[in-house]
Amino acid sequence: MKKLLSAIICLVLLAATAMPTWARSRHHHHRSYASHYAGRRVYYSSSRRTFWQKHRDKLTVAMGTGGGAILGGLIGGKKGAAIGALSGAGGSALYTYKIRRRTRRY
């Protein structure tokens, strides 16, 4: 039973880490053809940012914290959950604010 629960938790965490790739919106900011050829200022569409785009950093750290707490809780109980939450928050914050690329690739 414990192995099955661990396998399910690992699959949920895998799905949560894949979530940022699903969050890409279909509305990309492109230059209009007129401004591109006329040499004018770049025109960006006025589409609103989604909740994910506004809070991406906070959500990424929160998912890392939750994942660490779940794994730590499975392994070491309440104390393990606390340690797992701290390590998950630290690791996801390190990734979010230092390692992840900020530039968009088109």
Q: Between 58 and 37, whose confidence is greater?
A: 58
Reported as a pLDDT band with limits 50, 70 and 90, residue 21 is low
Reported as a pLDDT band with limits 50, 70 and 90, residue 46 is low
| N-term to C-term CA, the chain | 45
Reported as a pLDDT band with limits 50, 70 and 90, residue 27 is low
pTM: 0.52
Closest CA to 70 of 58, 87, 57: 87
**Whole-number pLDDT of residue 41:** 52
Give 56-89 pLDDT, tens digit per residue: 899 999 999 999 999 999 998 899 999 999 999 9
CA–CA gap between residue 80 and residue 29 (Å, rounded)? 44
Domain boundaries, the chain: 1-19+49-106
Phi, psi of 102 (to 5 degrees): -95, -15
Q: Between 20 and 7, whose confidence is greater?
A: 7
- Sequence-ordered alpha helix ranges (H) in 1-106: 2-22, 33-38, 51-54, 56-94
Q: Between 31 and 70, whose confidence is greater?
A: 70
